[in-house]
Amino acid sequence: MTTLNNAAKQAVPKPNGPIVECTQLRKLYGDGQAARAALDGVSLTVQPGEFVVILGQSGSGKSTLLGIIGGLERAYEGNVVLFGNNVASLSDKQLARLRGEKIGFVFQAFHLLQHLCVLDNVLAPTLFDTSSADKTDRALAVLDHLGLKDRANDFPSQLSGGQRQRVAIARALLQKPALLLCDEPTGNLDTETGDRTIALFRDLHREGLTLLAVTHEERLAAVATRVIHLKDGKIYTTNSTAPLRGGVAGAEPPPPEYTSTESAYTSSAKGYTSSPADEPALAKPTQVDP
């Protein structure tokens, strides 16, 4: 397997401040007396290098929160600052650009395009981006990193659930996001495949990626640096399970049940990013041009 070292040298910017800052988020569905708060005063900050897992039961507001943070939902009360940009001040076009450049999404249902092969699924986000240079080499490198290069020409129907989820993760990593948002990423996987996917997230985090995942599965919380509990649209506890070290990826040893799968998908702990010293620091928060 190759690593992503060269391609990823510009992969993870270091904003001066938090990657995500949410203040008093409130999201109502319905009108008048029928209105219900899916989010009811949620404040949350994600720092570079964190792996935050939000745990909550069905209906607690997890997807709503992730959709707001990821810029997919704009109708809400409260304030969101992404990479130093106040989202309310961005046009839809600016927000879409910020999302495309900085954020990768992984969904429970994978959302792969069945008529496209694996490689084209990974390339799909760039198909209509005329400013995007040929990404094929990068896509193949990401697939290689995730142990899927030899499946590049297969179609989703020929893959297992875990392989499909890895294709979805490869697609999310193609644009070298600084933040990976995951909505129930193991929800459609059997236990063993889910554990491997969790180990993959842990490896990506160790390699420098910042992750924010929402789930009802406690086992995903085992590899997080911080666990937040969401209930009825409110945050009610925050645990730090593996404190950040030097503001970069926590080096806390993983639980034993995850270590055995480490080599299954990644050949190198430095595959996603080079050493922090090699990464270009941003002098100021990312500004999005009109």
Ligand X SMILES: Nc1ncnc2c1ncn2[C@@H]1O[C@H](COP(=O)(O)OP(=O)(O)OP(=O)(O)O)[C@@H](O)[C@H]1O
The C-alpha atoms of residue 123 and residue 207 are separated, in whole angstroms, by 22
Q: Does 63 bind Mg ion (CB under 5 A)?
A: yes
The C-alpha atoms of residue 66 and residue 73 are separated, in whole angstroms, by 9
Q: Does 216 bind ligand X (CB under 6 A)?
A: yes
User: Do residues 74 and 64 make contact, with C-beta atoms less than 8 angstroms apart?
Assistant: no
Helix (H, G, I), strand (E, B) or coil at 202: helix
Helix (H, G, I), strand (E, B) or coil at 288: coil
> How far is CA 225 from its chain centroid?
14
Relative orientation angle of helices 191-206 and 161-173, to the nearest 10 degrees: 20
Nearest 5°: phi and psi at 56? Answer: -170, 150
Binding segment toward Mg ion, per CB under 5 A, in 61-69, 149-157, 160-168, 273-281: 61-69
Residue 64 or 273 having the CB closest to ligand X: 64
Q: Does 236 bind ligand X (CB under 6 A)?
A: no
**Which of ligand X, Mg ion, none does residue 210 bind (CB under 5 to 8 Å by kind)?**
none
Residue 64 or 165 having the CB closest to ligand X: 64
Taking residues 27 to 56 in sequence order and writing x for each that binds ligand X by CB under 6 A, - otherwise, the string is --x--------x-----------------x
Shortest reach from residue 107's CB to Mg ion, in Å? 9
Binding segment toward ligand X, per CB under 6 A, in 16-24, 58-66, 83-91, 134-142: 58-66
> How far is CA 11 from its chain centroid?
14
Six token digits for residue 232: 């009825």
# residues near ligand X by CB under 6 A: 11
The C-alpha atoms of residue 2 and residue 21 are separated, in whole angstroms, by 35
63, 165, 210, 225: which one contacts ligand X (CB under 6 A)?
A: 63
8, 62, 209, 271: which one contacts ligand X (CB under 6 A)?
A: 62
3, 64, 121, 186: which one contacts ligand X (CB under 6 A)?
A: 64
Nearest 5°: phi and psi at 193? Answer: -65, -35
Applying CB under 6 A, which residues contact ligand X?
29, 38, 56, 58-64, 216
Applying CB under 5 A, which residues contact Mg ion?
62-63
